Structure 1
C-alpha cells in the first residue's frame, strides 16, 4: 500500500508530530510513504523523517490562497501513485481537487474540535465532501467526534475515532520522584497561542513563587503571543523563575529532567505533548477540556484544575509537597500512556485504509 500524507508544514506542533509518528510506523511496517509539505520549511521533523529514508515533497506554497499548489499536488500524485491520500488541517481544499480523477481513498484527520479546525470558507466544501462520503473524516477523541457530527451534520456513528500515538520507546521513563535539593522544575510544551493559556500559567506562577522561591517554570515553544507573555513575565517580576526556552527537538529529555507537567489549555484535541509527558511518567496538572478527560482521570492519573490561576497554583503545590502523590500519579499516567502508542494508532489507520478501499 502506498500512502501519501499531506500537511501544511512540518513545524513542531501536535498534528505534525502525530503525522511523523504515523509515517515512521507505516514505513517500519513496510508501507510506501510520501510526505507532502505545502510550505518549504525545514525543521527537526523533516530532518528526522529524511533520516529514516522517508521522502518529503516540498511545494513552495505562497502565503494566502495559492491555487498553483493544486497542480503541484497533482504532479506528486501522478508520480507517487498513492492508494491512500491522508490529509491534515486545511490542505483538504487543495488535495481533494488535485486528486479528482485519481482512484484512491481519501482520509482526513480532524485534530481539534471542528469549529476550531476549519474556517467558514472551507466549511461548505468539507461538509459536502463528508456527507457525500468522498472523504472519510477521522476524530482523535470522543469530543472531537461529537463536534464533527454537530458541525458537519454527519451521523456520529459513521465517524471513525483513532487516538493519537507516540513512539513510547523514546520515553525516558521517570524512576525517581524525589526533588533534586530544594529545586522544583515545572514544564509546559506548546505554541504561544490563545489555546494554550500561557497567561494563566504566569498568573499561577506569580502565586506559587511567592511561597516557593526554588520553583522554575520552563515554557517551551514559539508563537504569536510569545512577546506578550514575555512582557507579562517582566511585569510580574518573574524573569528568574519563568523561563521562555524556545523550541526543542527532544521533548523527552526535557520532560525527564522535570518534576511536574502542566497543560491548562482553553481547548484541546488530543495533545501529543500530554501523551509524551504521560509516557515519561510525569505527574500532570491539566484542564479537563477536549480529549483530555479521555486521557487523564482526575486524582488517578493526573490532577484537573479549573481555568483559574489560584486553582492551578493549588494543584501544583499539592504535587510539590507530596512525593508519594507525584509517584502514584506519574506511574499511573505512564501505564495509561500504553493505550496511546504509535503502533496501536498505525494499526487502526491501516484497518481504516483497508476498509475504505
Structure 2
C-alpha cells in the first residue's frame, strides 16, 4: 500500500507557495507516493499537476470564524480517515489550523512559513498562538525559507526548525535581450509596483525606447492603471496579467526588478536570476541572503537608488554581464533534486 503525503494550502492559484507545492507534490507523486492537496480557501488550480494527485476541496464561503471551526472539523475527520504518512502545511494561519485539528492524533506535521512574519498582517495575539502551536509534539519541524524569518521566532521554535529554499525549475532558455524591463508579482501593496512605475518614469526620459512589463494580477490593478495615465506612460508600461508561460515571456528582458516592501523568498526573483537576467531588488527581509550586492544582483533602498541601479545596468555592459554570469550559479542550490533531498532528510524519507 502506498504511503500518503498530504499538503494543506489555501488554494492552488498563482502564487509562490502554491508553485512550490505544485513542484513538491508532482515530485512525490513521481516517487510513487499517494499525494493529496487539500484546499481551504478556494478550489482554484492554476498549476499543472500530475494526474495521480488527489485534490480535496475544503473551501468555505462562511465568515472566517465559522469557517475555522468547519476547517478544523473537516481536517480532523480527514486525518483520522486517511492516516497520512506525512502532512505538509504552508502559511502560518493554515499551519495553526492543521495543528489544532490534529491534537490528540498520531500524525507528523511539517509546517512551512512562507512570508515575512514581521509584515504579513498577523495580530500579536495570533502570533503568540502560532508560536505556541509550533511547539506541539505533532509539529515535527518548522521550515523557513530564510534566516531572517527564522530569527523572528523564539529559540524554542528555532531549535525545531530548519531552512529549506524553494525549488526553482526553469526550462526556458535565455533569449537575446531587447529594450524591456520586467517585474512579476501580485498587484498588491506588498509587491509595491508603484515604486517601479515611478522609477521608470525617470528612466524613460533618457531611454525612450524602453518598455516596462509588470506581470501579475491583483486588487491594485486600477490604481496602477491610473498611475500609468498620470505619468503619461501609456504604450510604455504594460500590465499583461497572469501569463502561463511566464519564463518565456521574461526571457528576453534586459532587467528584472523586484520592488517589494517585504518578502519571504521571491520565486519570481530566483527564476529571473537563474535565467541569467540581471536583477535589482529592494533591500527587504531575506533577499540579502540570496543577492550579494554588486555581484549577482543589485540591492536598493528607495526610488533614487532604483533609478541609479537601472541606469548602471543599461550603461555598464561589463557590470551587466558580470551580474548575469554570477546569478546563474544559483541554479544548483535551488534545483529540485537538492531541495527535495532536504525535505526527504527532515521527514526521514531518504532513510527508510
Q: What TM-score comes out, normalization by structure 1 length?
A: 0.89
1:201 aligns with 2:196: yes
Structure 1, unpaired ranges of 5+: none
> Quick one: which of 255, 275, 298 aligns to 2:250?
255
> Could you tell me which residue of structure 2 aligns to residue 33 of structure 1?
35
Identify the range of structure 1 (272-281 vs 120-129) with the bigger mean alpha-carbon deviation: 120-129
The CA distance in 2 between the partners of 1:121 and 1:16, in whole Å, is 26
C-alpha distance in 2, partners of 1:29/1:21?
12
Report the CA distance between 1:35 and its aligned residue: 0.7
From 278, 293, 303, the counterpart of 1:298: 293
Match of 2:109 in 1: 106
Counterpart of 1:130 in structure 2 is 134
**Deviation, structure 1 residue 43:** 3.0
Partner residue, 1:159: 161
Residues 42, 132 of structure 1: CA spacing in aligned structure 2 closer, same or farther, 3 A cutoff? closer
**2:269 aligned with 1:274:** yes
Q: Kindly indicate whether the alpha-carbon contact (under 8 Å) linking 1:83 and 1:103 is maintained by their aligned counterparts in 2.
A: no
Q: How many angstroms apart in 2 are the aligned matches of 1:112 and 1:154?
A: 20
Residue in structure 2 matched with residue 352 of structure 1 by the alignment: 346
Whole-Å Cα distance in 2 between the matches of residues 73 and 18 of structure 1?
Answer: 22
**Residue 171 of structure 1 contacts residue 279 of structure 1 at CA under 8 Å; is this kept in 2?**
no
- Number of residue equivalences: 343
Deviates further, 119-128 or 247-256:
119-128
Considering Cα pairs closer than 8 Å and 6+ residues apart, tell me whether 1 or 2 has the greater RCO: 1
Q: Is the 8 A contact 1:25 1:343 kept in 2?
A: no
1:324 aligns with 2:318: yes
Superimposed CA distance per residue, residues 41-79 of structure 1 (whole angstroms, 9 cap, x where no aligned partner): 33322xx11x44211111132252302222222333244
Please give the root-mean-square deviation of Cα atoms over the aligned residues, in Å: 2.2
Shift of 1:342: 2.2
Task: Quote the offset at 1:175 in angstroms.
Answer: 6.0
Do the aligned residues in 2 keep the contact of 1:279 with 1:338 (CA within 8 Å)?
no
- Give the equivalent residue in structure 2 for 1:241: 236
Residue of structure 2 equivalent to 1:10: 12
Change (3 A) 1:52 1:338: farther
Deviations 1:98-126 (A, max 9, x none): 32333111111011222334443432332
The secondary structure found in structure 2 opposite 1:85 is strand
Q: Give the whole-Å Cα distance in 2 for the aligned partners of 1:221 and 1:211.
A: 27
Q: Distance in 1 between matches of 2:287 and 2:212?
A: 22
Residue 321 of structure 1: CA displacement?
2.3
Q: Report the structure, 1 or 2, having the larger helix content.
A: 1
Structure 2 runs not aligned, ≥5 long: none
Deviation of 1:133 (Å) = 4.0
Q: Which runs of 4+ in 1 moved over 6 A?
A: none
Maintained 8 Å contact 2:96/2:133: no
Output the CA distance in 2 between the equivalents of 1:8 and 1:120. 22
Please report the TM-score for the alignment, with normalisation by the length of structure 2: 0.90
Determine if contact 1:207/1:310 at 8 Å carries over to the other structure.
Answer: no
